[in-house]
């Protein structure tokens, strides 16, 4: 399937979803569809169009949280942060959202991942490094992602390059992707953070 076709399918899902009751579940489905549309356009070379959809995805993730998402629905602030990072936008608003929601004190690794991402976006590398180190010890969390976060926080370009190569390889080897859009989105978001520190 071509990227333009993937975009058209995602945009159609979004348009259809808007006609339904916009409760918390429907809002996150809209966010996911916008995410898929944005990534598809990005891969098709349309950065301007991709940016619009990724911004929309971030807004819908926030709306879904405010509409009554479970307190541990950390994928939503993560999705918003990643969408804006990939779009090349200011991601501080969803980063502050994650911090205010106490991601740093989350019991789940995914919550602490949200905290680490947020702290890197907010340029608090020292605290981000602590959360990254915690994730490196967490057996249930992808070690390649934890190592990438740690390398960004410590501004170690060589360690980052090695860890990110493993992140990309893991995406190449997987079969399941959000909204069936096979893009290494985590690598794209991490690269945005690394670029701000001159690591790529």
Delineate the domains of the chain, giving CATH numbers in brackets: 3-196 (1.25.40)
Q: Are 123 and 138 in contact (CB under 8 A)?
A: no
Residue whose token pair is 């945005």: 192
- Name residues whose C-beta falls within 8 Å of residue 118's C-beta, 6 or more positions apart in sequence: 77, 81, 94, 95, 96, 98, 99, 103
Helices 92-100 and 47-66, packing angle to 10 deg = 20
Position 180 scores a pLDDT of 83
pTM of the model: 0.95
Rounded average pLDDT per 10-residue block, the chain, 200 residues: 92 95 94 97 97 98 93 94 97 97 95 98 98 96 97 98 97 85 95 96
Q: Within 67-182, where are the H helices?
A: 75-87, 92-100, 109-121, 125-136, 143-154, 157-173
pLDDT value of residue 185? 95
CA distance 200 to 178: 26
CA-to-CA distance for 127 and 108, rounded, in angstroms? Answer: 18
C-alpha separations of 132 from 5, 55, 106, 148, 149 in Å: 37, 27, 14, 9, 6
pLDDT of residue 1: 62
CA nearest neighbour of 154 among 129, 117, 188, 124? 129
pLDDT on residue 176: 83
């Amino acid at each position: 399937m071509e990227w333009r076709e993937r975009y058209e399918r995602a945009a159609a899902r979004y348009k259809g979803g808007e006609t339904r009751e916009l409760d918390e579940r429907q809002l996150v489905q809209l966010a996911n569809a916008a995410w898929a549309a944005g990534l598809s356009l990005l891969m098709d070379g349309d950065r301007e169009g991709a940016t619009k959809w990724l911004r929309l995805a971030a807004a819908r993730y926030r709306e879904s949280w405010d509409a009554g998402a479970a307190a541990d629905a950390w994928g939503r602030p993560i999705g918003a942060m990643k969408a804006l990072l990939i779009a090349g936008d200011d991601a501080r608003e969803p980063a502050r959202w994650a911090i205010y929601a106490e991601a740093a004190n989350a019991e789940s690794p995914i919550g602490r991942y949200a905290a680490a991402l947020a702290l890197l976006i907010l340029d608090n590398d020292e605290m981000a490094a602590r959360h990254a180190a915690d994730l490196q010890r967490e057996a249930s969390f992808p070690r390649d992602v934890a190592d990438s976060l740690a390398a960004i926080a410590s501004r170690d370009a060589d360690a980052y390059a090695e860890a990110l190569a493993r992140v990309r390889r893991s995406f190449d080897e997987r079969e399941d992707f959000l909204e069936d859009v096979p893009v290494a989105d985590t690598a794209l978001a991490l690269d945005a953070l690394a670029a701000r520190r001159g690591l790529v």
